[in-house]
Structure formats: C-alpha cells, structure tokens
A and B are shown apart, each in its own frame.
Chain A
Amino acid sequence: MGETVQPSWLSGSRTRLWSAARAARGLYRVLRANPLTFVGFLMVAFIAILAFLIVAVPFVTGLFGPPVSILPHDPNELLPCAIPTECATSPSAQYWFGTDNVGRDMFSRVLAALPLDLAIGFGVAGFALLVGTGLGLVAGFWDTPGTLGGALSIAIMRITDMFLAFPSLVLALAIAASLGRGTGPALIAIMITWWPFYVRLVRGEVLAVKHLPYVAAARAAGVSGIQILFRHVFRNILEPLVVYYTMDVGTVIVTFSTISFIGIGVPPTVPEWGGMVEAYEKLLLTAPWTVLAPGAAIFLTVLAFSLLGDGLRDILDPRSRRALVQTTTAPGLASKGAAEA
C-alpha cells in the first residue's frame, strides 16, 4: 500500500514547481508587454550580481591566501605620474574610465563604491519599509476612536504628518550635520527621516482595503482582527509596497550620495559616488570623465530601479494593467473574423 501513496513533500514540490512555472509565464507575458521593465529587471540583476562579486570574491579568496579583487586596480592606489595633482588621464584601454587628478583609476573607484551604495539603498529603504509598514498597519487598522489603538493611531499620524511637512533631505542634512560627519551619522539621519512615507502609504491602503465588501464579509464570518489584517489587508497592500520599495531603493541612493556630495557623509578616502562627484566637480571641464563616471554609475543604478518599479506599478495596479496589457494580449475586436480565420 505504501508504494502507491505519494510522499507529501513530492506533491508539494510539484505544486510549487507548477505555480513557479505559471509565475514565470506571467512574468514573461508582462515583460514582453513592457520592454522597459524588462531592461530595468536585467539591469538590477546585473548590478546586484556585480556588487556581490566585488564583495564576495576578495572575501572567499582571502580565506585561502592573499585576497584577489575583481577590480583592475586598488581604488586608492596612486598611479605613477610626474606632477602629483595633474595626473588626470583620459579613458584608455588600461584605465577604462581614465584616472583622477591624483592618478587613481576611476573604473576601480566607481566599482568599489557600488556595494556600499547598493547596500545603503536596500538597507535604509528596508528599515523604513519595516518600521513604516508596522506603524501604518497599526494606524490604519486599529483607528477606532476612544480605544488605545485609536489614541496610538492619532499619535502615529501626528508625528508622521510632522515629518512629512518638511523636506526630508533638509532634515536629514540638519541631523547628519549635528551628529558629526561620517557614514554612520549620514545613515542614521536618512533612517530617521525615511519611514514616514511608508506610514502614509500603508495607512492609506489599509483604510481603502478595510471597507471593501470581502473584508467586511470576513469580519461578519467571525475571522479575528489579526487574521483579517494578515490574510486580507496585508496581501492587498503588498503590491503597492513592492512598487514603492523598488523605486525607493534608487531614491535612497540618490539622497545618500547627495549628503556625501555636500561633504557630511562618507569621508573622502572611502569611494562613494556622491562624494566623488563633489571631489571632482571642478574638473568637469578639464577632465569630465572624473565627474561623469560616478555620475553615470548613480544614474544607471537609480534608473534600473526606477524602470523596474515604474513598470511593476503598471503591471500590479489593476487599473493601468487593464489599460496597458490589453494592447498586447486582447484578442482584438473582430472576434468573429478571428474565429473564421
């Protein structure tokens, strides 16, 4: 008898495989409809893998001997040249993005900054996502006046409004400047100012979802508040959150690099894109590659996340999805003609 019974893990994995295949098919359809999103997806994947290799290869090889970097040069190594401040050479086969005014390889510097900037983008946006979603769920779901949740909800929203009533970059600058200069203070400053956007987003979505008929139906059927929150409400706010998070990674990178650009973020010795643009700003006319290389790095990274996020919005938002996906998959008007053809 035993041999006829399929092991549960097998059937489970089959279902999983099947749904994965279905998801992949859906993904393919969507990407075909939205070539820009596909490009964004490829760019994000490439950037993430590159950043991983830059960090992982020296670490792994370091375990067995001298660390090997995939960067062609040490980012802080001064290359030999005659006059120490006029060493900028234009891009060549040896130095792909040229060298800066003290003779450091720009290509290596730009690449060396990638893991830091990317990690900050993911990390800060992720932190804001967690904090903001938690507070937003509470503020949106338990907002009955006169209860503890109601009071909490009011307090959360007042504080959120306060943060939102002020340009976040300026607040982050003020905080970063007060805390002292360096990567840590800059990070803390962005973290402090970043979460309110998520509270507003999540609360708005929760309020919108909460009164939908099927949620009311679940409540009427006796499903508890927590269950409703996770089973119905959370699932519905997931899509806008994913979209917002994707785009936000890019925005965080821009903001962090702006703080560095102003000169209160990372110290000059650490390669960071914003700091590099600031350091080489004066060279824009004489050695434009020194500004354009880190600039292009930020531009492409942020663009990748924006393309992906903006496309995801069209795909995940049912209203614009209907309007857009129709253009490629609708059977067309002459269904009778199609049937006869």
Chain B
Amino acid sequence: MGRSKVDLAIFVGKRVVWFVPVLFGLITITFFAGHASVRNPCAVWVGPHASPDTVRNCIEYFGVNRPVWDQYTGYLSNLFQGNWGKDPQGGQPVLPIILTLFPATIELLLAALFLMVVLGIPLGVIAANAGGRWPDHLVRLFYLGGWATPAYLGAVVLAIGIGPVLGLPNSGDFSSTPDPGWQLTHMSILDSILRLDTGALVDAIAHLILPAASLALLNLGIATRMTRSSMLEVLPLDYVKTARMKGLSDFWVLYKHALRNSLISTVTVLGTTAGSLLSWIVVVEEIFLWPGIGKYAFDSILSYNFAGTLGVVVFFAIVVVVANLVSDVLYGVLDPRVEWR
C-alpha cells in the first residue's frame, strides 16, 4: 500500500468491483417491490376507461402476465444488452430518455454543490473562529434554519414567491432561450460556453440559479457544520500557532493552514451528501420543472413506470458511488498521510 498511481488505480478498481453487487441488490429490491405489489400495472397504464382489448394488448406487449421471476431474469439480461425496457406511456426506450435528461441533473447537482462549498465553507470558518459568540450563533441559526426548511417548501416559495419578483425565468420554461438548438452536452451552461454564446450563458445561469439555490441553501448546513466542527478541532493545535508565529495574518492562518486540514473531513461529508441531495433533487426538479432525471423519477414512480424507475435507480446509484469515490480520492489528495487501500 502506498500513494503511487498504481495504488490509486487498484483502490478505484476495488471500489468499482464492490459497486456491482450493491447495484444488483438495489435493482432486485426495486424490481420486486414494484412488480410484487402491483399485480396488473397495465390497468393503471392504459387508464380506467380503456377497452379490454387495449388492456390485453398492453399485457402482451409488456409481458406483465409472465411469472415475476421470468420478468426479472429477462429484465436483467436485457439490461446488459442496453435494452432497459420501454416507457409504458409513449413506448419509447428508457435508456435514451435517461441519457438525455441525466446531464441536466448533474448540472443542477454540481451547481448546488458549488454554492454549498463557496457559501458553506467560509460560513463554517467564520462560525468556528467566533466559537461560542454571536457570529457563531447567527451562522448556526442560519444553517439549521435551512436544514429545517423542507425542500418542497423552500422550492415552492422560491419558485412562486421570489423568482417572479427578481424577474428570473420559470426554470423549466426554456422558451426564452435564445437558440433552441443548443443542446450538445445537455448541460445548458456547458453548451453555451462551448458555443461561445454569452446570451445563452446568461439565460442558462438565470434558469439554474433558483433551483440550485434552493438545493444549496437547504443543505448548506452539511458543509457549514462539518467545517465548523473540524475547524474547532484544528484551531487549538500547535501548527496553527506555528503559522501565527510566522507572522501570517488571521486570513492566511485560517484559510490556508487551518482550513486545509479541516477540509479533509468536510470533503468526506460532502461526498456522502450527494445521496441526500439526490433525494431533494427529485422534489426540486418537479417543482421547478427542471428537465432532469429527478423529475423523470418523480413521474415514473407516480405512474408505475417500472422500467423508468429502475433506470433512474441505476443512474442515481452510479452518482452516489462516483461521488463517494471522488470524495475518497480528494481525501487522499488533501491528506498526505493517507495510503490507498
């Protein structure tokens, strides 16, 4: 075990291999939870007023009358061939839909994480530096307030109450976008940068800002609290005093010497936060009508779209695992004492 590139590669490889049974288990649980409890999804899919023929066609087409076990093995074998099932509403294959929606969700997630880091970490530093005095109490009240606000409430208030006041576009409504043919990567900001289109960039940020802010503000506490508590541990240590003795001003002592070491634990927590952010992304995307897989997940779950739900499960799990992996690697980069194993 060491810190060479080979060690890192082995470390990443192990984690990816470990991920396979986890994913397998998740698919199994979701599959059986859906298929075992809803006996005849076709009745839901075609609606209550459909003719018996339509229902029969539906049953034939989706094969829902086969034994659950057969459906399960069939699903799994198709999964590896890239056939992730069909959307019962429109009959389109699920995988291409998810692949076009996924980048938008990643964009929202990264924007929210960016805001959490940029706002949350300095707030944590300020709170720790003022440990136990009023700035500390103020920051704690702020992030606990965010924590205590349900995502839907914050999002609804931002979307309906505050967005129009600030003149921001209704997020999902991309009709104001200057050039509708801009989708290359399906990430609006990246696309507009790639096309060197400042108008589109401004528009993309205007669309992104409210959903990202509602996700970030509500989860700010995770970054802030971790930074605060690890800073409280680091600040009394001798090397912080050494840094002060060099004649560094408070800014450099705090943000270079102390924060660098506190970040080690903050980064780990931010990595595991990705999971809870995804939870709220489902709600936020639905409220802001953001065209991502969160909204797709929401709609799939409510319309018994099993193929869609399972597809989203796979992608969500990938996001969580990649986020954890990134945070583990960052941990090692930040802390030179860590060895890959």
Contacts and interface: CB of A to CB of B under 8 A. Distances in A.
Interface of A: 33-36, 158-159, 161-162, 164-171, 173-175, 177-180, 250, 254, 257-258, 261-264, 274, 277-278, 281, 284-285, 288, 291, 295, 298-303, 306-307, 310, 313-314, 317, 319-320, 322-324, 327-328
B25 interface: yes
A75 B323 CA distance: 45
Interface stretch (B74-82, B229-237, B239-247): B229-237
B320 A165 contact: yes
Nearest to A277: B153
B233 A320 contact: yes
A260 B312 CA distance: 22
Contacts of A168: 275-276, 279
B283 A274 contact: no
B236 A303 contact: no
27 contacts: A33-B132, A36-B137, A162-B21, A162-B29, A165-B19, A166-B275, A168-B276, A169-B279, A170-B312, A178-B304, A179-B37, A180-B37, A258-B150, A258-B152, A261-B150, A261-B152, A277-B153, A284-B161, A291-B153, A299-B148, A302-B147, A302-B150, A303-B147, A320-B232, A323-B235, A323-B236, A324-B232
Given A177-B304, A277-B156, A302-B148, A170 B282 contact: yes
Interface secondary structure of B, over-half rule: helix
B217 to A, nearest CB: 13
Contact of A254 (B150, B232, B298): B150
Nearest to B25: A162
B135 interface: no
Contact of B279 (A170, A300, A323): A170
B157 to A, nearest CB: 7
B320 A299 contact: no
Contacts of A301: 148
Nearest to A247: B147
B321 A165 contact: yes
B280 interface: yes
Contacts of B156: 277, 281, 284, 291
A170 B21 contact: no
Which of A257, A299, A323 is most buried by chain B, counting CB atoms within 10 A of its CB? A323
B317 interface: yes
Given A162-B29, A262-B286, 4 more contacts: A165-B22, A310-B140, A320-B229, A327-B133
Nearest to A185: B37
B30 interface: yes
B148 A250 contact: yes
Interface in B300-339: 301-302, 304, 309, 312-313, 316-317, 320-321
Which 7 pairs, one residue from A and one from B, show the smallest C-beta to C-beta distance?
Answer: A169-B279, A302-B148, A303-B148, A167-B278, A327-B132, A167-B279, A323-B232
Contacts of A307: 141, 144
B131 interface: yes
Which of B37, B38, B148, B321 is most buried by chain A, counting CB atoms within 10 A of its CB? B148
B93 interface: no
B16 to A, nearest CB: 13
A324 B132 contact: yes
B149 interface: yes
Nearest to A278: B152
A262 B131 contact: no
Nearest to A291: B156
